[in-house]
């Protein structure tokens, strides 16, 4: 992550004098460490030790029902991954879904952000709130609502399709249509992305649009050559968050298929498979290995995206703006370059 800059950036100097006063500084260090202690202890207890333990467990056949029967089996779990057809299927499901849902939600979020940013729109705040709102519905509840809407015979989506003369598919029971169905559901999760795009759009200087107009650019040309490059940092940020979220996809798939991955494993996402291995079959050694595979994939994707970012993310060489805080007034604060500014990240969790 480029989070480094956030921290390397010069830290505010202490009000106390720098030289001399050794005792005072030692006390300051100590006080600081005491306040930070919850993080340090929590990191050791809930991140560092479990990470090491999970790596060790991935080399065993640990089963929580028989914790004393644990055996060291070397890389056997990793070898099993190579030939596990269910795992391969779950990777395929996850990958195909990511390829569908990431562009879909990005495009929808950008489109809606541009819509609710339009000067011609009356009641823009109302629309912003309404487009954001579905994100606040508990995921299990919203999934249940969508299950009803997507029902083949009593769902309103198929009523609508029938009304315009299209045959409505059996969304959730068809191995082909269940992916698009989950994609549609994903549209209810565009809220955060939309707000972040909106902040990006509002930071584009209007002079650039004026200049483009003078040069004879139409609306598409000014979108393509002004808007897109100027918001590429937030686009990049949203892309990473969406990709990570796609690989973490679980709740919707679980509720739609009651945890089975139906129909015919078409909703057996990577995480659902991991859940079943760990808590259905109690193959916890193998599940630990799967967790590390997920970590490597997510880390790999992030690194690859950051490597390619230079060629398309326009950061303009600006220094990061400082946090505007309360002086920013109302409305979303201005954004300049999210990626160079340590995008850390409230992911849509």
Ranges within 161-220 binding another protein (CB under 8 A): 187-188, 191-192, 195-196, 198-200
Binding positions for another protein, 84-103, rule CB under 8 A? none
Contact region with another protein (CB under 8 A), list: 90-98, 99-107, 210-218, 326-334: 326-334
**Encoding tokens for residue 205?**
């200087």
Binding-site member from 225, 251, 305, 306 for another protein (CB under 8 A): 251
**Binding residues with another protein: total (CB under 8 A):** 128
Is 41 a residue that touches another protein (CB under 8 A)?
yes
Shorter beta-carbon distance to another protein: residue 42 or 215: 42
Phi, psi (deg, nearest 5) at residue 72: -80, 120
User: Using CA atoms, how far apart are residues 248 and 237, in angstroms rounded to an integer?
Assistant: 17
Are the beta carbons of 3 and 344 closer than 8 angstroms? yes
User: In 3D, which of 108, 103, 110, 94 has the Cα closest to residue 298?
Assistant: 94
CA atoms within 13 A on the CB side of 323: 6
The three-point CA angle 187-299-86 to 5° equals 70
DSSP 199-234: HHHHTS-HHHHHHHHHTT--HHHHIIIIIHHHHHHH
Contact region with another protein (CB under 8 A), list: 74-82, 205-213, 216-224, 322-330: 322-330
Shorter beta-carbon distance to another protein: residue 44 or 99: 44
User: Using CA atoms, how far apart are residues 68 and 289, in angstroms rounded to an integer?
Assistant: 20
Is 249 a residue that touches another protein (CB under 8 A)?
no
Shorter beta-carbon distance to another protein: residue 206 or 330: 330
**Encoding tokens for residue 96?**
């195909």
**Encoding tokens for residue 199?**
């902040």
Binding-site member from 21, 24, 43, 176 for another protein (CB under 8 A): 43
Is 23 a residue that touches another protein (CB under 8 A)?
no
Angle between helices 49-57 and 284-312 (to 10 degrees): 120
Binding positions for another protein, 111-150, rule CB under 8 A? 112, 115-116, 118, 120-123, 127-134, 136-142, 144-149
Contact region with another protein (CB under 8 A), list: 75-83, 96-104, 221-229, 251-259: 251-259
User: In 3D, which of 288, 263, 243 has the Cα closest to residue 55?
Assistant: 288
Task: Please list, in sequence order, all residues whose beta carbon lies within 8 angstroms of the beta carbon of residue 174, skipping any fewer than 6 positions away.
Answer: 263
CB of 152 to another protein, least distance (A): 12
Rg of the chain over all Cα atoms, to the nearest angstrom: 25
CB of 206 to another protein, least distance (A): 18
CB of 215 to another protein, least distance (A): 25
Phi, psi (deg, nearest 5) at residue 80: -60, -35
Binding positions for another protein, 44-83, rule CB under 8 A? 45-47, 49-51, 53-54, 57, 62, 64, 67
Are the beta carbons of 179 and 97 closer than 8 angstroms? yes
CB of 319 to another protein, least distance (A): 10
Binding-site member from 21, 24, 31, 176 for another protein (CB under 8 A): 31
Shorter beta-carbon distance to another protein: residue 30 or 211: 30
Binding positions for another protein, 261-320, rule CB under 8 A? 271, 274-275, 278-279, 284, 287-288, 290-292, 294-295, 298-299, 302, 320
User: Using CA atoms, how far apart are residues 88 and 78, in angstroms rounded to an integer?
Assistant: 13
CB of 95 to another protein, least distance (A): 16
Is 30 a residue that touches another protein (CB under 8 A)?
yes
Q: SS3 of 77, please?
A: helix
Are the beta carbons of 194 and 348 closer than 8 angstroms? no
Contact region with another protein (CB under 8 A), list: 43-51, 86-94, 204-212, 305-313: 43-51
CB of 32 to another protein, least distance (A): 3
């Amino acid at each position: 992550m480029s989070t480094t800059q956030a921290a390397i950036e010069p830290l505010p100097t202490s009000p106390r004098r720098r030289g001399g006063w050794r005792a005072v500084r030692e006390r300051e260090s100590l006080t600081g460490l005491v306040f930070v202690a919850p993080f340090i202890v929590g990191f050791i207890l809930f991140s560092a030790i479990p990470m090491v333990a999970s790596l060790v467990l991935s080399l065993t056949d640990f089963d929580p029902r028989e914790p004393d029967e644990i055996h060291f089996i070397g890389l056997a779990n990793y070898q099993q991954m190579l030939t596990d057809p269910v795992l391969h299927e779950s990777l395929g499901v996850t990958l195909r879904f990511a390829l569908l849902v990431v562009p879909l939600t990005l495009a929808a979020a950008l489109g809606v952000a541009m819509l609710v940013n339009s000067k011609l729109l009356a009641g823009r705040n109302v629309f912003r709130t309404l487009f954001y709102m579905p994100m606040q519905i508990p995921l299990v509840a919203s999934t249940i609502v969508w299950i009803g809407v997507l029902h083949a015979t009593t769902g309103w989506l198929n009523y609508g399709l029938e009304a315009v003369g299209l045959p409505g598919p059996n969304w959730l029971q068809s191995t082909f249509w269940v992916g698009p169905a989950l994609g549609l559901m994903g549209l209810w999760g565009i809220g955060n992305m939309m707000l972040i795009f909106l902040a990006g759009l509002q930071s584009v200087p209007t002079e650039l649009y004026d200049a483009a107009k003078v040069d004879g650019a139409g609306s598409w040309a000014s979108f393509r050559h002004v808007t897109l490059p100027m918001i590429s940092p937030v686009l990049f940020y949203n892309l990473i968050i969406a990709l990570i979220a796609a690989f973490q996809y679980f709740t919707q798939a679980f509720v739609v298929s009651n945890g089975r991955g139906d129909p015919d494993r078409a909703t057996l996402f990577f995480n659902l498979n991991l859940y079943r291995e760990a808590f259905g079959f109690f193959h916890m050694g193998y599940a630990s290995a799967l967790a590390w595979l997920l970590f490597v994939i997510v880390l790999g994707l992030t690194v690859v995206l950051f490597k390619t970012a230079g060629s398309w993310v326009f950061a303009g060489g600006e220094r990061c703006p400082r946090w505007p805080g309360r002086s920013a007034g109302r409305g979303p604060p201005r954004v300049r370059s999210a990626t160079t500014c340590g995008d850390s990240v409230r992911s849509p969790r």
